[in-house]
Structure 1
Amino acid sequence: MPTLPSFGSWDEYFTAFMHGKLCWGSYFDYLVEWNKHMDDENVMAITYEELKENQMLGLKKIADFFGFSLSEEEIQTVAEKSSFKAMKEKSSKTHGAFGKIFFRKGIIGDWKDHFSEAQNKEMDRKFEECLAGTKLGEKMKYGLYCKA
């Protein structure tokens, strides 16, 4: 994409990412700002991991948040149509060439396999610095799902 910077390697991208040197800014600054709104009544945070743990419960929480009254059958239909498998099967229609990139395996924690040991340690340090002890950090279950 011409509007996005290109990088010669994963290591180059990782360095830019960790220092917020991307066109959309710092991921960590973004998380720190959202943490300030975790108790706002018009904000609901839900994670991919939470939906993988219990998709039906997650969908019920989302429906309740938006004030939708859905039957069990309707929630089941949403669950089926929004499953990783269903979305991956349609990804070329919904995301074009990026479908294969965005919909890889649908498992939790696979990203760690793409990081070097040093990168995993750097990510852990940055998370600890920015989100340890916060409501959003707790919601993300970093220690369970993310920590290398």
Structure 2
Amino acid sequence: MAEENKAFVDEINKALAKSEGITLKELLFSYRGTPYPVTVCSTETFQALENLEARRDDMVLVSYPKCGVNWLIQILNDLIFTTIQGKPVSTELPFIECGDPDKYQVSKKNLLQRMKQILSPRILATHLNYDFLPKSIFKNKAKILVLFRNRKDTAVSFFHFHNNVPNIPSYSSWDEFFSEFMNGKAEQIQSVADRATFQAVKNKAQETYGAVGTVLFRKGIVGDWKNLFTEAQNQEMDAKFKACLEGTKLGAKLKYDVYCKT
């Protein structure tokens, strides 16, 4: 494993270790009405997050979990490395809501915020809602990229991720997961192009992300939801989209009828 990735992988392994022996009920805690995993998030980190000083050249990747953000992080890291040869890789978890609160605080041990020590351009990822993002992101006009994915594929990808990650408690069935997902309780250049294919990223996943790597990058295909959704579940999610997003500008951009229906 490359030395520059070791600290990052160590952080992931620590999170996996925290999961050992806990139940599904114990895995999540609620902060301002939204559930988060106790293994990588904490109330203290959320409170310290407001100290994040965003930069104009920060790239903030925003998505619901399992929409491809880890894949995009790999592509952007490769683009940056190609442009700025020898740029060191950040040892912090890329998701701003994850990790210990000290990365946003000054202490006797850290005379400078650890986040301030990361060289520009920084890649900052998040699964947070708009209202929970640090105000400096908007004040300093950081670059924001929002990722969308067919929500049915997202649900299936989330289900497999949840049941395949080592130590994390699993759902007993797809139906159990689907019910909680629908209720809002489940929570994640040619040379560059050649390395950005899903298979290329998947092949290096264990080196890059450690034990969780092969689970993060499972298939990378469109339409996998059809292998698990029942017709009733398909209709239920279609109805949920219609009730929540149909007729809105965002709903039109998603082209739900084109990509998310059979």
Question: TM > 0.5 between the two?
Answer: yes
Note the C-alpha offset of 1:79.
Answer: 1.9
Note the C-alpha offset of 1:14.
Answer: 0.8
- Which residue is equivalent to 2:176? 12
Task: Select which of 159, 182, 191 maps to 1:77.
Answer: 191
1:54-133 matches, cutoff 5 A: 75-133=189-247
Instruction: Please say if 1:146 is aligned against 2:257.
Output: no
Structure number having the greater strand percentage: 2
For residues 32-63 of structure 1, give each alpha carbon's deviation from its aligned partner in whole angstroms, at most 9, with x where no partner exists: xxxxxxxxxxxxxxxxxxxxxxxxxxxxxxxx
For residues 56-75 of structure 1, give each alpha carbon's deviation from its aligned partner in whole angstroms, at most 9, with x where no partner exists: xxxxxxxxxxxxxxxxxxx2
- The whole-number CA distance in structure 1 between the counterparts of 2:213 and 2:225 is 17
Taking a change above 3 Å as real, the CA distance of residues 21 and 95 of structure 1, as seen in their structure-2 partners, is same
Secondary structure at the aligned position of 2:201 is classed as: helix
Count of residues paired in the alignment: 98
- The whole-number CA distance in structure 2 between the counterparts of 1:113 and 1:14 is 13
Note the C-alpha offset of 1:21.
Answer: 2.4
TM-score between the two structures when normalised by the length of structure 2? 0.33
Structure 2: runs of 5+ lacking an equivalent: 1-15, 20-26, 28-36, 38-168
Secondary structure at the aligned position of 2:210 is classed as: helix
- The whole-number CA distance in structure 1 between the counterparts of 2:191 and 2:249 is 31
Taking a change above 3 Å as real, the CA distance of residues 8 and 143 of structure 1, as seen in their structure-2 partners, is same
- Structure number with greater Rg is 2
Structure number having the greater helix percentage: 1
Structure 1: runs of 5+ lacking an equivalent: 25-74
Report runs of 4+ in structure 1 exceeding 6 Å deviation: none
Note the C-alpha offset of 1:6.
Answer: 4.1
For residues 124-143 of structure 1, give each alpha carbon's deviation from its aligned partner in whole angstroms, at most 9, with x where no partner exists: 11111112122322332221
- The whole-number CA distance in structure 1 between the counterparts of 2:228 and 2:193 is 29
Amino acid at match of 2:182: M
Taking a change above 3 Å as real, the CA distance of residues 90 and 143 of structure 1, as seen in their structure-2 partners, is same
TM-score between the two structures when normalised by the length of structure 1? 0.55
CA contact (8 A) 2:174 2:228 kept: no
